[in-house]
Amino acid sequence: MTVPSAEKGRRSIGKYEQTWGGLREIVERVIASGERDLSRALRLVEAEWRGMTAEPADGLAFGEPVVLPDAALFGGRRDLILSVLRTACRPETGMVAELGSGSGINLLNLHLWGGPRVPYYALEPTEQGRACATLLAGLDDGLRLIAHPFDYESPRYDLPRVGHALVFTSHSIEQVTELPREVVTALFDLGESVTGVHFEPIGWQLREASADDPARAWAEKKRYNRNLWALLSALEAEDELRIVTVVPDIIGDNRRNASTLVVWHKG
């Protein structure tokens, strides 16, 4: 039975309200303990939430199977995301926005690890995810983080226009089986130039995998995204944007759902 996109979206939001609600309890507990330093609070939250260990974990790097300690896979993926995002920033960058930001941890880490001192926007469908980001951001007076509701099915970006906007996603587009064109094209109005960065499990889309490919089978079972690469390729063919970086299956702690890195520019 095919599940309509809108119904799937409602189910997904309900699921993640529970997920981020559980994380919110951890955040509130850490803050209630008297922790007032964002960096320390974030590390404590991550450690309890992820339960990272030194046990071996099956991962993927540049498409090749690797076995690393669980904590190393998690830390390596986090550091890679931050390195790519920092490289994508420019002197004229006026905002950083994450679509489907969840608890906002990627944005918070970017700020702590030397990201630009500009407004950060956590665009997140769930109330609990936005609450996590707001609670944690409140620990740092030097951080301007604003959490807004966001709907991938009907995208609206009511944000100030800047010189250069950096927008990114990390395993959030995966939740949208068919991504509307406007999710990308509506971003173009955010700045005189816009950089998009995606860490999404679409390696199988790039290689036009057969039906028995483990990554494609996993994506179809989970009803994950199946058109991000086709959409970006079509927009490039129409001279709407320019794809500058593509690294299939660059890293993952689930070999069937590894992150592929795509970076594009507009303007």
Q: Which domains does the chain have, with CATH numbers?
A: 5-266 (3.40.50.150)
What pLDDT, on the 0 to 100 scale, is given for residue 133?
98
Handedness of CA 247, 250, 255, 258 (dihedral sign): negative
- Chain mean pLDDT for the chain: 94
Res 12 pLDDT > 80: no
pLDDT of residue 3: 44
Mean predicted confidence (pLDDT) in 35-53 = 94
CB-based burial label for 265 (10 Å; 0-12, 13-18, 19+): middle
Phi-psi region of 193 (alpha: psi -120 to 50; beta: other; left: phi over 0): beta
Q: How confident is the model at residue 1 (pLDDT cuts 50, 70, 90)?
A: very low
44: how many CB neighbours lie within 10 A of its CB? 18
Over 60: is that where the pLDDT of 146 sits? yes
pLDDT at 2 (0 to 100): 43
User: What is the per-residue pLDDT across 231-247, written as a single tens digit (0 to 9) for each?
Assistant: 999 999 999 999 999 99
pLDDT in tens, 57-108: 999 999 999 999 999 999 999 999 999 999 999 999 999 999 999 999 999 9
Grouping H, G, I as helix, E, B as strand and the rest as coil, residue 9 is: helix
DSSP string for 48-70: HHH---SSEEEEEETTEEEEEEH
Look at residue 217 and tell me whether its pLDDT is greater than 80: yes
Residue 119: how many other CB atoms lie within 10 Å? 16
Residue 187: phi, psi to the nearest 5? -70, -25
